[in-house]
Amino acid sequence: TFPWVNYQDENLNISIPVFSIHGNHDDPTGAEGLCALDLLSASGLVNHFGHSQSVEKIEISPILMQKGRTKLALYGLGSIPDERLYRMFVNNQVTMLRPKEDQDKWFNLFTLHQNRSKHGPTNYIPEQFLDDFIDLVVWGHEHECLITPLRNEQQLFYVTQPGSSVATSLSPGEATKKHIGLLRVNGRQMNMKKLPLKTVRQFFIQDVVLADYQDRFTPDTPHVTKKVEEFCYAKVKSMRCWRNGGFEAFNTSRFSQKFVDRVANPKDVIHFLRRREQKEDIKGVSPTKVYTEGLRVEDLVKKYFEAAEQTVQLSLLTEQGMGKAIQEFVDKDEKDAIEELISYQLEKTQRHLLARGVTTEQDIDAEVTFFKSLPQQAMSRAKAHRLERGDDRDDRMSDGDVAMDSDEGSSPFPQPTRGRGRGAGRGRGGRGRGKGRYHICIESNQTEDYV
What is the per-residue pLDDT across 35-59, written as a single tens digit (0 to 9) for each?
889 889 988 999 999 998 888 899 9
pLDDT range class, residue 148, cuts 50, 70, 90: very high
Cα–Cα distance between 241 and 60 in angstroms, integer? 47
CB-based contacts of 341-348 (< 8 A; 24+ apart in sequence) = 341/317, 341/407, 342/316, 342/317, 344/407, 344/409, 345/316, 345/317, 345/321, 345/406, 345/407, 346/316, 348/406
pLDDT single digits (tens) 208-240: 888 888 888 888 889 888 888 888 888 887 764
Active site residue 271: no
pLDDT range class, residue 310, cuts 50, 70, 90: low
User: What pLDDT is stored for residue 278 in this prediction?
Assistant: 53
User: What pLDDT is stored for residue 98 in this prediction?
Assistant: 96
pLDDT single digits (tens) 339-391: 777 788 788 888 877 887 877 777 777 777 777 665 545 445 555 655 666 65
| Mean pLDDT of all residues belonging to the chain | 76
Contact 41, 2 (CB under 8 A): yes
Collapse the DSSP code of 230 into the 3-class scheme (helix H, G, I; strand E, B; otherwise coil) and give the result. Answer: helix
Q: Which residue has the higher pLDDT, 264 or 196?
A: 196
CB-based contacts of 158-161 (< 8 A; 24+ apart in sequence) = 158/190, 159/127, 160/136, 160/192, 161/116
Burial class (CB in 10 A: 0-12, 13-18, 19+), 405: buried
User: What pLDDT is stored for residue 427 in this prediction?
Assistant: 40
Domain ranges of the chain: 50-196, 207-290, 297-423+433-450
Cα–Cα distance between 182 and 396 in angstroms, integer? 60
CA distances from 39 to 1, 45, 47, 342 (A): 9, 9, 10, 64
Provide the CATH number for the domain formed by 50-196 in this structure: 3.60.21.10
Contact 412, 402 (CB under 8 A): no
User: What pLDDT is stored for residue 303 in this prediction?
Assistant: 72
Residue 65 parent element (H or E) = strand 63-67
Cα–Cα distance between 205 and 171 in angstroms, integer? 8
Amino acid making up residue 413: F
Report, as an integer, the average pLDDT of 400-425. 39
**Which ranges of 46-185 would DSSP assign to H, the alpha helix?**
82-90
Contact 138, 111 (CB under 8 A): yes
pLDDT range class, residue 410, cuts 50, 70, 90: very low
CA distances from 76 to 49, 108, 124, 146, 172 (A): 7, 11, 17, 20, 29
- Sign, CA torsion 438/444/449/451: negative
Greatest extent of the chain over all pairs of C-alpha atoms, in Å:
111
- Best CA proximity match to 408, nearest among 321, 313, 290: 321
Active-site residue, from 22, 25, 48, 113: 25
Cα–Cα distance between 412 and 125 in angstroms, integer? 67
What's the chain's length in residues?
451
One CATH from 3.40.50.300, 3.30.110.110, 3.40.50.11820, 1.10.760.10 for 207-290: 3.30.110.110
Cα–Cα distance between 49 and 29 in angstroms, integer? 16
**Which ranges of 333-393 would DSSP assign to H, the alpha helix?**
337-356, 361-388
User: What pLDDT is stored for residue 374 in this prediction?
Assistant: 56
Helices 361-388 and 337-356: crossing angle in degrees, nearest 10, is: 100
Q: Which of 4-8, 19-23, 131-135, 200-204 has the lowest mean pLDDT?
A: 200-204
pLDDT range class, residue 446, cuts 50, 70, 90: very low
Cα–Cα distance between 321 and 328 in angstroms, integer? 11
Amino acid making up residue 83: E
Collapse the DSSP code of 186 into the 3-class scheme (helix H, G, I; strand E, B; otherwise coil) and give the result. Answer: strand
Q: Which residue has the higher pLDDT, 355 or 437?
A: 355
Cα–Cα distance between 380 and 399 in angstroms, integer? 8
Count CB neighbours of 373 within 10 A. Answer: 14
